[in-house]
Structure 1
Amino acid sequence: MAEVGLQLYSVREDLEQDFEATLRKVAELGYKGVEFHTFFGRSAKDVKALLDELKLEVVGTHVPYTRLLDHLDEEIAYHKELGNKYLIVPYLTEEQRQWDDLFANLIRIGQKVKEQGLILAYHNHDFELTEKISNRPVFDAIYDAVSADLLQVEMDTCWVYYGGYDPVEYIGRYRGRLPIIHLKDMARDEQQKAITVELGQGEVQLHAIADAAIQAGVDWIVVEQDFCSNPPIESIEASLKWLQQYAARGGNIHV
């Protein structure tokens, strides 16, 4: 049974204003775990104490690629103390998209992370689907170049969809290497650009994606809304209600 988590980037302004109160609200709403993108200068010990109090699990942390390159030992030590096993590459700038260098660095980082008992994963956007290497999406080229024991998949299913591919097919393709998915919905503006919206308010086929993820054995279905037109806490509450309704209709998730 998949657990439901929240990528805290969705409520980043609230966290910056009041870190503790925001995490308490996330727990009160019913999320089982949280995925971090920053800790706002707090120690691993203090964050772990708060999570333990709130009975929130750490899903993973989005660690900037430059931190993994230049401060890997420090990141490993912090996350071992926190009790987090997933270090996740969150995004690559255009300058960082030197693919041969990236593949070599992911292998090196993945080996060191593995030696320390942690797991490296990669979170995609749409450019990994639209950019090609030898007529193959970068998304697939990354996982061809780096073995599963060194790099796991955190699939952002909305960006796979927006990139022009079928998330259900991609979930099946990476079954066994896919511990976490991001479940996200989107609409489009007048220029056909993606606008992230609450689950169930857009065009993404969420039921099919959630069903496929559960069949593929994912551990976590993580809600993320990159930008919220409504107050972020209201948005994440609405998305959790969609997942609760999905569970009530037979979806095999823990909410």
Structure 2
Amino acid sequence: MKFHEKIAVQLYSVRKEMEANLEETLRLLSELGIKNVQLDGMRGNPPLEVARLLKKYDLNVVGMHIKHDRFFNDLDGIIEEAYLFDCKTIYDKYIEEEDQNEVGYRKTKRALLEVAYKLSPLGFRVGLHNPEYDFKTEIDGRMMMDFVTDPENGISIYAEPDTYWISASDIDPVEYIKRYSGRAPIIHMKDYIPGFDLTDMDNNLTEIGSGTVDFKSVIEWGEQNGVEYYCIEQDRSKLDMFESLKISIAALKNIQI
């Protein structure tokens, strides 16, 4: 499969649009040439209707973001959703604020490993998506993201590196992802403009090709190291979201590998 066919869109990008008109949102994504999406909740829509419309518009669910607390108390619900959407690659979307400390990170690793022990025999992959704060804490001499994803007893928590949040942490995303050869089936592709406050996402988050992230090098590495999908996630934009996604999709497709 050529890397152009591995481009995906995280539906968090169009969360407001999904709340307003689910079918129109999925239709417009399909018209952008998108075949692969990553789920991030139903956005007020019945799961069966989301599944029906995804199928109608030939959108393949390649990953699912799951709320942090569900890994502790709703494993049955996670499994049910995974089978409904025919997707066994599931990520803890972000660690809730109350668990953003050493005790919480250790608890999170245990919970994710327990889920992985139970579900790996069924073909599931359990992973963690990284926001910026995950790079600010060390546990046992390891950055938190590395600590949680370090293999244990032959089971690995998969990483979902996010080029924006890695860049916002003053870390080179191309160098950082190299530690995850074979352990990062999805990479979040988000561009970054330095020089703004970390919380100023209106200015420091931008469309792919407008910032400083070296996406060509990310993809070159990914094609040699098991990356299955390059997932655009545009948390917000000054543009209409579909125009924003159109720009980012075109920028990725224009990369020559």
TM value normalised by structure 2? 0.89
Alignment CA distance shift 1:150-1:43 (3 Å)? farther
Alignment partners' CA distance in 2, 1:186 and 1:46? 35
Aligned to 2:245: 236
Partners of 2:148 and 2:157 within 8 A in 1 = no
What CA deviation, in whole Å up to 9, does each residue of 1:137-195 have, x standing for no partner? 11111112646634212111221222122222222211111111011001245436552
Alignment CA distance shift 1:70-1:142 (3 Å)? same
Partners of 1:45 and 1:82 within 8 A in 2 = no
Alignment CA distance shift 1:148-1:46 (3 Å)? farther
Alignment of 1:1-255 (within 5 A): 1-2=2-3, 3-97=6-100, 98-144=104-150, 146=152, 149-188=155-194, 190-191=196-197, 195-246=204-255, 250-251=256-257
Alignment partners' CA distance in 2, 1:148 and 1:15? 39
Partners of 2:130 and 2:165 within 8 A in 1 = yes
Alignment RMSD (CA, Å) = 1.9
Alignment CA distance shift 1:99-1:149 (3 Å)? same
Query: Which stretch shifts more, 111-120 or 76-85?
Result: 111-120
Alignment CA distance shift 1:45-1:94 (3 Å)? closer
Q: Percent identity?
A: 31
Partners of 2:160 and 2:186 within 8 A in 1 = yes
Secondary structure at the residue paired with 2:108? helix
By how many angstroms is 1:21 displaced? 0.8
Alignment partners' CA distance in 1, 2:120 and 2:198? 41
Query: Which stretch shifts more, 223-232 or 162-171?
Result: 162-171
User: Partner amino acid for 1:28?
Assistant: E
Alignment partners' CA distance in 2, 1:65 and 1:83? 21
By how many angstroms is 1:41 displaced? 4.4
User: Partner amino acid for 1:135?
Assistant: G
Alignment partners' CA distance in 2, 1:77 and 1:166? 38
Secondary structure at the residue paired with 2:187? strand
Partners of 1:171 and 1:216 within 8 A in 2 = no
Alignment partners' CA distance in 2, 1:147 and 1:141? 14
Alignment partners' CA distance in 2, 1:117 and 1:206? 30
Alignment CA distance shift 1:134-1:15 (3 Å)? same
Alignment CA distance shift 1:192-1:156 (3 Å)? closer
Could you tell me which runs of 5 or more consecutive residues in structure 2 were left unpaired when the two chains were aligned: none
Partners of 1:158 and 1:183 within 8 A in 2 = yes
Alignment partners' CA distance in 2, 1:214 and 1:167? 15
Partners of 1:111 and 1:150 within 8 A in 2 = no
Query: Which stretch shifts more, 53-62 or 138-147?
Result: 138-147
Secondary structure at the residue paired with 2:161? strand
By how many angstroms is 1:34 displaced? 0.7
Alignment CA distance shift 1:192-1:84 (3 Å)? closer
Alignment partners' CA distance in 2, 1:147 and 1:228? 42
Partners of 2:15 and 2:43 within 8 A in 1 = no
Higher RCO structure, 1 or 2 (CA under 8 Å, sep 6+): 1
Alignment partners' CA distance in 1, 2:251 and 2:64? 24
